[in-house]
Amino acid sequence: MDINILTLLNYVLPSVIVFVVTFFTLKQFMDSQNRMKALELKFTNRKDMTPIRLQAYERIVLLLERITPSNLILRVHRQGMSARMLQAELLKAIRQEYDHNLSQQIYMSNNSWELTRNAKEETMKLINLSAGRLNDQGTGMELYQIILEATSKLEKLPTQIAIDYIKEEINEYF
């Protein structure tokens, strides 16, 4: 009986050792292959995503330029507008620009998008505060002058802060 167990161990033990060594060698090889494929896929995705990400950054910079108060007023203001009408049109234009580019946040860093959102909110707040300084009879031209006066007092416009950050980020990544 002892001889049969020893004989069996003589046949089985080398097979088990060969199996374990083969298993771990194959596992290591498969893990290496998976890492290589993952890196290759990541490189391919990065190559394909770069133009899309750059386009997203371009669109957001364009959004920020378009909602900069001086550019926005020049685009929206029409002769004979009341201050309230101009305020409503400015806020509407900002919301439309922002909503139109909302999907671009997918391609941007969280910080860039947060600064973009903050620039939109701060610009709307600036317009509302400026309009609050006028009575109901105020003209669009008076609101225009108050907004320009308020922006001239700022060291840097929120839109410019966001644009500068985006430029730095682009230079860092690309």
Q: Which of 126, 123, 127, 107 is nearest to 162 (CA)?
A: 123
CA distance 64 to 113: 11
Give residue limits of the domains in the chain.
Answer: 51-173
Segment among 29-33, 50-54, 83-87 with least mean pLDDT? 50-54
Residue-wise pLDDT for 137-154, tens only, equals 999 999 999 999 999 999
Of 39-53, 100-114, 159-173, the least confident: 39-53
SS3 42: helix
* Cβ count near 170 (within 10 Å): 15
Contact between residue 139 and residue 147 where contact means Cβ atoms under 8 Å apart: no
Place of tokens 């009341």: 82
C-alpha span between 136 and 7 (Å, rounded): 105
Instruction: Report which residue type is found at 76.
Output: V
Q: What is the pLDDT of residues 63-122, one digit of tens each?
A: 999 999 999 999 999 999 999 999 999 999 999 999 999 999 999 999 999 999 999 999
pLDDT value at position 42? 78
Which of residues 157 and 11 earns the better pLDDT score?
Answer: 157
Instruction: Tell me if the pTM is above 0.85.
Output: no
